Structure 1
Amino acid sequence: MELHMNGSDEEVSYANNSSLQRKVISLTKALRDEAITSLYCNTLPKSLAIADLGCSSGPNTLLVISQTIKVVENLCRKFNQKSPEYKVYLNDLPGNDFNSVFKSLDTFKEKLVDELETKMGSCYFSGIPGSFYGRIFADKSMDFVHSSSCLHWLSKVPEGVDNNNKGNIYLSTTSPSNVLEAYYKQFQKDFSLFLECRAQEIVEGGRMILTFVGRKNDDPSNKDCCQVWDLMTIALKDMVLQGIIDEEKLDTFNIPNYFPSPSEVNFEVLEEGSFAIDKLEISEVNWNGRDSWEALDIGSEMSKSFKDEGYNMAQCIRAGTEPLLVCHFGDSVIEEIFERYKNILTDRMSKERTKFINHTLSLTRKP
């Protein structure tokens, strides 16, 4: 399974199509600031180890790191403390475009120093390739761990789903109960393992902020969380009917996602037992990336607006799923898939408000 974001700085790259993820990061800043402030005030650390899991590449990669360091530096001045030494760890799967990240570090450091207008502690960066559904750091080596827009991706497609979820590429109202159960069990296994691994890596009293796409209610096939994949299914089915894609290929393709409910998230954290839940916040992000769903203009301008939004949304999804689709269907049909998908998205976004539901967890490692 080829699960990684599109690299480079090309038109279909994650770097150029991650504005929705940036919006999520901005919405969760207050909770992150609160967590790092609490951590600093309780420990006054001489050294601070910060990890960003699922860092990807592009303008979002170092945003949280920058904001976190700025909060700590302001606290240092407030309490007349020496700036700590920063050890920053950037994690993603091996297929991530780490080269682009490393090339941007010198510019990032210079910009950060200029914005702080004060001398800060030394800042060391490391790239850590590997799945966060396993150990990636040494025991009790992390103080502050962050992950955004990543944990709704499962480690793999649940076993037994292929050919049992025909006509769907994800959970749907027509998915059989055993498929719904398989997805939920895979989420339980993955998220529990994630928490167990981080519990060994984070110091007592250390903090973790996790944000991922979810749902508000208990129905795993709810439209709010499944619609983005339902619409892609329509595009793929049309291509099957026209003989462009083999039906068998469609029947054996499933997206390794799971969008949990708040109760499912709470249960896994309490069941694993190593972390206290400080807060669980729910936020909404419109597919069009704007705070309001109202169109900017009327008439032809409104039509153009929705066309642009459909294109932008298709590009956003493409940046994260193209490697999966190429691996399964081949690269010859990719342009056709996303052209059709864009048109379907444009039509749907012109008729109703479409949004993502996000869960943000603020956790503290228990003694």
Structure 2
Amino acid sequence: MFSSRFTALLTTTTLAALPAAAQTPNVVTDIAPVASLVAHIMGDLGTPRNLIIPDASPHDYALRPSDARALRDADVVFWIGGALTPWLEAPLETLSKNAEHISLLNAEATKLIEPRDLGHDHHDHGADKHDEHDDHDDHDHDKEHADDHDEHDHEKEHGHDEHKDHGHDEHNHTDAQGNLVDPHAWLDPNNAIAWLDVIAAALSKADPENRATYEQNAATTAAEIVQTMSAIDFRMAPHTDASYAVLHDAFAYFETRLGIEPAGAITLTDAQSPSPAHIASLRETLTEANVTCTFAEPATDTRLLGVATEGLDVRFATVDPLGTPDMAYTDLIANIADAMASCFKGTSN
């Protein structure tokens, strides 16, 4: 009896003397590609909580109660930035005011491009980009004013409509300096690689004991992305002159990396439908450019594509720029390339 009591007392005393195991930080992300990158770096140490569910628009989303709880408990929040999710700015300040907020669009190493002019009338975007982005200057375009669009400039700045599709109003997509940017920057694999270091540094600051793991996982993931892009370059090499159109101009970063560009876009915004005159002009462009493929994102209304391509010999493919939180980033970009290449070849992906 004495022996068992002594053993129990000794065990309890020993456990009490041991230092408490370090807790990995609670991490929240906004969209699936960011969740994927963070998950790769955290590895077995933890899993980020992603806010935006699959097939929901990142541009207009209503937080669920579980999302609010996750933000309240967060130690670190990784998000693209207000140019993609303006509705998230207020909850970050109120629910996660004690957490570290990392906007990847505003990271120093991020290469940004401006929204392209694919035949639409929209506002003058004369804001300068970051100095380090001069290698994208060939995508700068003068943007013409269109009076009939004025009423939409501020309409969606803080809108919350979980029923909207992936379309959105490009006019509100500005970075921290007020420059107009295309917010889909995760589709440039070079940005993803740069963000790995940003993510690892933030996690290491919150959890210094696991710095070596975060840094090693970041290096390993970067090498995997480079290898995947080599395979994508090989697959896409025969299609660099392919002529195609998109429902919504969401893939500019990926296309810029591959050296391809659509002949036109059906719409740049979900705030208004393209005019009959634009559809007629676009049909003429598609015909003259001998467009063979059109691409649309999941959960979008593709009826406008049907109108614009009616009677034309044009194939259609779904291309997903977001994927799911449990999808590897390398799988995301490989799937995009597979969908495009398969359509160009006239086969299913």
Fold-level match, TM-score > 0.5?
A: no
TM-score, structure 1 normalization: 0.25
- Which of structures 1 and 2 has the bigger CA Rg? 2
Does 1 or 2 have the higher relative contact order (CA < 8 Å, sep 6+)? Answer: 1
TM-score, structure 2 normalization: 0.26
